[in-house]
Amino acid sequence: ATNEEELEAAVEAALETGYRHIDTASAYQNEHVIGKVLNKWLTSGKLKREDIFITTKLPMTHIHPDLVETALKESLQKLQLDYVDLYLVHSPIYMKFVEAGKPMEPLPTDHLAVWKVSTESSSWRTYRM
């Protein structure tokens, strides 16, 4: 089995067992698999959206006022959801990807501006931060 198949089976088993909170993040690179399973459960009627709590996180590479909304939309698309219940800042450090195998570079950011964007953007009205 591939890692994706194993993850899909694990999420299925968790939902079958009764888990109703899924905590994920862009950095985990698993939102698309979780989204696949959630979509299957939601469209089949095995689960109602209001009966599950989904948390995901703003990646370090997007902790900038101009990037926050893009990151959320990417996560929502991968999760195949209209909203998440909780959107967290994964780490308060804004980082720039340089290249594979090299450390990311820290960048300055305005955390207050990031928060302000989150409260004013129309696409942020469907979840709580």
Within a domain: 101: yes
Weakest mean pLDDT among 8-17, 65-74, 77-86, 99-108: 99-108
Nearest to 64 by CA among 25, 111, 18: 111
CATH (domain of 84): 3.20.20.100
Within a domain: 21: no
Catalytic residues: 28
Within a domain: 32: yes
Radius of gyration of the chain (CA): 16
Please give the average per-residue pLDDT across 46-62, as a whole number. 94
Please give the average per-residue pLDDT across 32-52, as a whole number. 98
Quick check: 96 and 51 in contact, CB under 8 A?
Answer: no
Report whether pLDDT(121) > 80: no
Report whether pLDDT(10) > 90: yes
Q: Which helix (H) or strand (E) holds 105?
A: strand 105-107
**Structural domain count of the chain:** 1
Render 49-74 in DSSP notation, one character per residue.
Answer: GGG-EEEEEE-GGG-STTTHHHHHHH
As a whole number of Å, the end-to-end CA separation of the chain is: 36
pLDDT of residue 26: 94
Domain hosting residue 48, numbered range = 3-12+26-124
Answer yes or no: pTM beyond 0.75. Answer: yes
Q: What is the pLDDT of residues 79-107, one digit of tens each?
A: 999 989 888 888 888 777 778 888 778 88
Report whether pLDDT(129) > 90: no
